[in-house]
Amino acid sequence: MSSQPPRRRFVIGLFLIAAVIQVLYRPAQCSSLMKYLATEYNLSNIYSIIERNQIANTTIHLRSVTVFAPHNEAFLKSTKQENDDEYLPCYHITNVPMKLEQLGKSVFSELDGNPPMWITKKSSEEIYVNQAKVVYNLANYEHNNTFGKPQVLHVIDQVLQPLRMKKNSPQNVYNPNAWEFMENAEYLDLDSYHTNTFLQRVQTLDKKSVFSNQGGHTFFIPVDEVANYPKVRPEKIDVKVIDAHIVPDNVLFLGPTNEDEQFKTLAFTDMLKVLASFSKADEGDKIKYYVSSDTVVGDGVHPTGAVVAEIVKANIPVRNGVVHLISRPLMIVDNTVKQFIESYKDREDSVLHRFYEEIMNSGGDFLEKLGAMPNVTLFAPSNAALNDPSIQSYLTNRTYIRSLLDLHIVSRRLSIDDIVAESIDKRLQVSTEVPRKDLFFNVVTNGKNRTLTLEGGGVNATVIQANLAATNGIIHIIDHVLGIPSSTVDRKLATDPTLNETNYLGQVSLLNDQLGDVQKRFTYFVPRDFAWKRLAIDNPSAYKKLFMPEYSNVARQILERHLIIADKAFTMDDFKREANNNYNLSVKLPTVRDVSMYIQIREAAEGYSIEWRGEWIHVHRSDVRCTNGIIHVIDKVLITDNDIEVNAAIATKSITALVLIMAQCLVFYYFN
Region of 191 on the Ramachandran plot (φ > 0 left; ψ -120 to 50 alpha; else beta): left
Structural domains in the chain, CATH included, are 25-156 (2.30.180.10), 178-289+296-304+311-327 (2.30.180.10), 339-478 (2.30.180.10), 489-648 (2.30.180.10)
CB 521, CB 568: distance < 8 Å: yes
- The residue ranges of DSSP E strands in 493-596, in sequence order, are 521-527, 563-566, 587-589
Instruction: For the chain of 672 residues, list the mean pLDDT of each consecutive stretch of 10.
Output: 54 52 44 84 95 94 95 94 94 96 96 97 96 96 90 97 92 94 95 94 96 97 82 91 98 95 95 94 82 92 92 97 96 92 84 92 90 95 90 88 93 90 80 88 78 87 92 94 90 90 96 94 96 94 92 93 94 89 79 85 88 93 91 94 62 47 52 52
Angle between helices 529-538 and 500-508 (to 10 degrees): 80
Q: What is the pLDDT of residue 360?
A: 92
- The residue ranges of DSSP E strands in 123-268, in sequence order, are 127-129, 132-133, 141-144, 150-156, 217-222, 246-247, 263-264
Q: Is 323 helix (H, G, I), strand (E, B) or coil?
A: strand
Q: What is the pLDDT of residue 584?
A: 66
CA dihedral 302, 306, 309, 310 (to 10 degrees): 170
CB 526, CB 560: distance < 8 Å: no
How many angstroms separate the CA atoms of 527 and 530, rounded?
A: 8
| Phi and psi, residue 105, nearest 5° | -80, -20
How many angstroms separate the CA atoms of 83 and 93, rounded?
A: 17
First and final CA of the chain: distance in angstroms? Answer: 56
Region of 117 on the Ramachandran plot (φ > 0 left; ψ -120 to 50 alpha; else beta): beta
Instruction: List beta partners, residue 377.
Output: 410, 474
How many angstroms separate the CA atoms of 600 and 440, rounded?
A: 26
Q: What is the pLDDT of residue 8?
A: 59
Measured at the alpha carbon of residue 187, what is the angle toward residues 186 and 193, in degrees to the nearest 5?
A: 45
Number of residues in the chain? 672
Distance (Å) of CA 651 to CA 535, 549, 555, 638: 21, 11, 12, 20
Predicted model pTM: 0.78
Angle between helices 500-508 and 552-560 (to 10 degrees): 120
Burial of 67: CB neighbours in 10 Å, binned 0-12, 13-18, 19+: buried
Instruction: List beta partners, residue 141.
Output: 153
